[in-house]
Amino acid sequence: MKRACIVLLSLSLAACAAAPKRDLDLERLRSEWRALDNPADRQRAPLEADRVDEALRGLQQLQSRDPNERKHYADLAELRMEIYSATAAAAREGERLEQLEDERKSILLEASRRDAELARLEAEKLRLQSLARAEEAERLRAENDSERARSAEVAAEADLARQEALAARRLAETRTREAELARMEAELSAQQALSLKQQIAALRPVSDARGMKLTLGDVFFASGQSVLKAEAKLNLGPVLDFINRYPGHSVLIEGHTDDRGAEAANQTLSEARAEAVRAALVGIGADAARLKVTGAGETQPIADNGSAEGRARNRRVEVIVEGAR
């Protein structure tokens, strides 16, 4: 029995001696490489991955039992795995940064789009606000214009009413003045007619070198006019009686003026007044063949032209029955 156990032990030892020795460093490195290696990182660092594979194959194929040499290869494999890992990590970081950059650009682009859209919306908002303000301003302007127009219309109506009232008041005042003036003129005319009638009645012929003479004063004519007043025409009967008192004698009707105005104008006025008296006498029955007219103008004054009274006396028409005594 003891012999059998010894035999079995020997066989086991022999089997162990015959079996290859495990390379623990290689197994460790391969385990680490499997943990590191992946298709994505291989694409990121293909050259570095190939160098790691090459180092592991070299370590596996190494026949030397020299610990230093094996350690060199093992260290080389570890270094290349570190390089691979760092290169892959750098590539991943670059990809991440690139992705972040793309995302940043995308975000910026989207932000730009949004900014542009916001700007467009803001511009549209401003346009609508501007349009609204313009419409409101137009509405207010129209309302103000309408209000101003109404105010102007009311003011115009009020002003028109005031003007009409003023015009009516002035018209009433004018009519009152006209009525008063007409009354005064009527009174004056009556007074003048009475005065004229009294003057005519009071006329007394006088004798001078040329014959018998009646003098008709300035009251027979309007100022500066050559037309006999109506009341004068109606009261020329005594003058007609005077000339008819001397039949067969010619009658000279002679006009005179004061010295106011131009001499030629005064000459013309004197002749015209003499003619007016002749026409009036013919009109009431005088023999036109006996009547002749002349004008002396301002050349034969009978009073001083320096006073109003003297000028009034100089403005006259003399009716002379020539040769009568």
Quick one: tokens of 2? 């003891």
Q: Tell me: the pLDDT tens digits for 186-214? A: 666 666 556 666 776 677 899 999 999 99
Residue 145 CB neighbour total at 10 angstroms: 12
- The values of phi and psi at residue 115, to 5°, are -60, -45
Tell me what pLDDT residue 189 has: 60
**Helix (H) and strand (E) counts for the chain?**
9, 5
Q: What is the pTM of this model?
A: 0.45
- The values of phi and psi at residue 247, to 5°, are -65, 150
List the domains of the chain with CATH numbers: 204-322 (3.30.1330.60)
Task: Look up residue 177 and give its amino acid.
Answer: R
Q: How far apart are CA 188 and CA 260, in angstroms?
A: 25
In the sheet with 211-216, reading across from the earlier edge strand, the strands are: 206-208, 211-216, 316-322, 251-256, 291-297
Tell me what pLDDT residue 303 has: 94
Q: How far apart are CA 220 and CA 230, in angstroms?
A: 9
Tell me what pLDDT residue 19 has: 42
Tell me what pLDDT residue 61 has: 85
Q: Tell me: the pLDDT tens digits for 19-77? A: 445 678 888 988 999 988 888 888 888 999 899 899 888 888 876 667 788 888 888 88
Burial of 227 (0-12, 13-18, 19+ CB in 10 A): middle
pLDDT mean by block of 10 residues, the chain; 325 residues: 50 45 80 88 89 88 76 87 89 79 72 74 77 74 70 73 81 79 67 65 85 89 86 88 94 96 94 95 95 96 93 94 93
- The values of phi and psi at residue 210, to 5°, are -95, -15
Tell me what pLDDT residue 154 has: 74
Question: If we measure between CA atoms, which residue out of 317, 97, 109, 94 comes closest to residue 219?
Answer: 317
Q: Which residues, including other chains, have CB under 8 Å from residue 273's CB and lie 6 or more apart?
A: 221, 226, 255, 295, 317
